[in-house]
Amino acid sequence: MKVFRHRKLIMAVLAICVAGVAWWLLRPNATPAAVSTPVPLLTVGVVKPVSQDWPDSIQSDGNLAAWQEAVISAETGSLRITKLLVDVGSVVRRGQLLAELASASAAADVRKQQATVAQARANLDGAQADVKRAAMVAGGGALSAQKIDEYRTTEAADRASLESAEADLQSKQIVLAQTRIVAVDDGIISSRSALLGNVVSAGTELFRIVRQSRIEWQAEVNPQQLARIRTGQLAHVRLPGGKSIEGQVRLTAPTISTSSGRAIVYVSLPAGSAAQSGMFASGSIELGKQRALTLPETALVLRDGRSDVYVLSADQTTVARRTVVTGRRRGGEVEIVSGLDAQSNVVRSGAAFLSDGAAVKVMPAAQNTRDAT
């Protein structure tokens, strides 16, 4: 009986406790428990996308090559190189002496032919004197008409002989002049195959010259890009050393390569630049200006191959992640092609530490500018 009475006592106490708790929770002046607000994780600056006029450009790669090369060869053969006056890299002017071939035999041929010309001229002078004297006595009957015709025929033959001798002399003089190898244009020596003492044949290549010292960028583009490129458009070429130079589209190839499916765009570069033939360079060709919605590059978060930004909520207490498609980049700014509107408030920097729905505190407006760091 005692145990039974103890159990009844315990149950009564428990009932009283339950009733007390119920009364406390249901009393008329009870107030709901305070809802906790999220604690800001980071103080952020925000920025709105800006619409700007940006140059629209095509990115490309290609080789640097000479605008034009001039081949300088020996025009006469079986002569020895006696002098070499330039080497690879030498800057030369049109008509400048580059090398000399042995000229003794050619000079002797010229002197011999000069003597032949002098002899032919003397013969012509004698024949002309005979014709003149025959004409003076022709009326008196001292000479027959046949003899007078002989004098005239001799004069004509001697005149022809003189002209032939003079032509031969000119030919010999040309051969003598060809022993002097000269530059055919201003430029820079790009190769030299001439060797001192070597006996060369007619047509043997001795030098190559980059005409006007002009190098051009041969950019490769696809057919869709080629249709947008015009002569005179500006181009920026980045050399292997990191230096950038400015050029201009000279012409576009009239055909597409059947092997690569690409075309060549020839971009003229300024003479005297650091560009050298044989280099491989990348660059861009400007097509004009186009409107672009831009953000600072610091606003982007790259994750799993996508580009994200964090947009401030309407009450400015949390942020939401937005995946965007980016385009051109220029001067620390990036073009937003899609995924964002111009009225969005975007976290300017430090977004890599945020997550979707994270609580933030917005930086004061005085510090929250586009140029703030």
pLDDT in tens, 113-134: 999 999 999 999 998 888 888 8
The answer on 284 and 216 residing in a single domain is yes
Q: What pLDDT is recorded for position 145?
A: 77
Q: What pLDDT is recorded for position 42?
A: 79
Number of domains forming the structure of the chain: 5
Position 115 in a domain = yes
Q: Are 79 and 101 in contact (CB under 8 A)?
A: yes
Could you tell me how far CA 156 lies from the centroid of its own chain?
66
- Poorest-pLDDT segment among 36-40, 190-194, 263-267: 36-40
The answer on 92 and 188 residing in a single domain is yes
The answer on 220 and 206 residing in a single domain is no
pLDDT in tens, 204-214: 999 999 999 99
Q: Are 223 and 260 in contact (CB under 8 A)?
A: no
Arithmetic mean of pLDDT, 164-183: 95
Q: What pLDDT is recorded for position 15?
A: 61
Arithmetic mean of pLDDT, 144-164: 87
Q: What pLDDT is recorded for position 35?
A: 46
Q: What pLDDT is recorded for position 205?
A: 95
pLDDT in tens, 213-242: 999 999 999 998 898 899 999 999 999 888
* 3-state SS, residue 15: helix
Arithmetic mean of pLDDT, 273-301: 89
Q: What pLDDT is recorded for position 274?
A: 86
Position 247 in a domain = yes
* pLDDT higher than threshold 60 for residue 31: no
Residue 240: give the domain boundaries: 59-68+212-289
Provide the 10 A C-beta neighbour count for residue 368: 15
The answer on 279 and 233 residing in a single domain is yes
The answer on 270 and 248 residing in a single domain is yes
pLDDT in tens, 291-341: 889 999 988 999 888 899 999 888 888 889 999 999 888 888 999 988 888
Q: Are 183 and 209 in contact (CB under 8 A)?
A: yes
Helices (H), the chain: 2-26, 104-137, 145-177, 223-226
Of 273, 289, 305, the one marking the end of a domain is 289
Half-sphere exposure of 140 (CA within 13 A, CB side): 6
Q: What pLDDT is recorded for position 23?
A: 54
The answer on 125 and 250 residing in a single domain is no
CATH code, domain with 233: 2.40.30.170
CA separation, residue 268 to residues 66, 89, 160, 218, 283 (Å): 10, 20, 54, 9, 13
* pLDDT higher than threshold 90 for residue 62: yes
The answer on 203 and 297 residing in a single domain is no
Q: What pLDDT is recorded for position 30?
A: 46
* 3-state SS, residue 205: strand
The answer on 347 and 230 residing in a single domain is no
CA angle 108, 206, 200 (to 5 degrees): 45
Looking at the chain, the whole-number percentage of residues with pLDDT higher than 90 is 52
DSSP 342: T
Q: Kindly provide the b/e burial profile for residues 54-72, where b requires at least 16 CB atoms within 10 angstroms of the residue's own CB.
A: bbbbbebebebbbbeebeb
Provide the 10 A C-beta neighbour count for residue 86: 20
* pLDDT higher than threshold 50 for residue 2: no
Task: Extract the runs of DSSP E, i.e. beta strands, from 297-330.
Answer: 301-303, 306-312, 319-330
Of 338, 331, 313, the C-alpha closest to 370 is 331
- Poorest-pLDDT segment among 4-18, 186-200, 220-234, 258-272: 4-18
Q: Are 261 and 211 in contact (CB under 8 A)?
A: no
